[in-house]
Structure 1
Amino acid sequence: DVPDVSLVTGRRIRVWDSCQNEPFAKIASGESFRAERSDRKRHRFNRKFSYPVKRYNRFFCTGCGRCSRVCMAKIDLKETITRLAQETGYLKV
C-alpha cells in the first residue's frame, strides 16, 4: 500500500516476482547468491523436497499445485520432480 501525503487516500500496488528471476536473490550490496538459473532452480527444489526431509523428515509441499500454476518461469514442479525421480531411479515406472 502506498498512502497519499494527506493519509486519507492511497493506492495499492502489486508487483509480481519469482524466485526464478535473478534479482530475487540479490542482497543490498548487489551480490547475488544464486546468479545462475541452475542455482535458483536447485535451491527451489531443495527448499521443498530436500532440506525439510533432512531436518524434519517430511516434505514442505502440500501437493496443491499452486507453485506450478503461478510460476512466472512456467516450471511445472510436479513434472520436474517426477522426471528427476525417474532419472535417479528413486521412482520406477
Structure 2
Amino acid sequence: MPRNHRLRRTNPIGPDLRLEPATAQQKAAIDADPNQVAGRMRKVGPSLAHVSLKTSADWLARWIRKPSDFRPTTRMPQFFDLSNQGDAHGKSFGPVEIAR
C-alpha cells in the first residue's frame, strides 16, 4: 500500500466504512454507476489484521491505553482512567481480554 494512501479520499479502503446515500438521488447515482466502490472515506484507525503476529499482548495493551507514548502525534480518544469507573457499575466492566 502506498504511504500516501491515507491522505487520498478517493482510494477505496473497504466496505465497512461506506456511508449510505443520504438522498434517493444519491442512491440512484450510485446504483447507475458500476464503478462506484464502497469505502471512499478516510480510515478511522489502523488495520488490526494479524496484529498478534506483529506485536505482543503487553505492547498492544499499552498502545491501546496511551498510544501517544508510542507515537506522540497519535490522535485517539481517551476512555481510560475516567472518574466514573470506580463505582460498582464501572467495576462490573473490568479489564477486557484482547482476543488473539
The structure whose RCO (Cα within 8 Å, separation 6+) is larger is 2
Does TM-score exceed 0.5, indicating one fold? no
Structure possessing the higher radius of gyration over alpha carbons: 2
TM-score for the superposition, normalised by structure 2: 0.28
- The structure carrying a bigger strand percent of its residues is 1
TM-score for the superposition, normalised by structure 1: 0.29
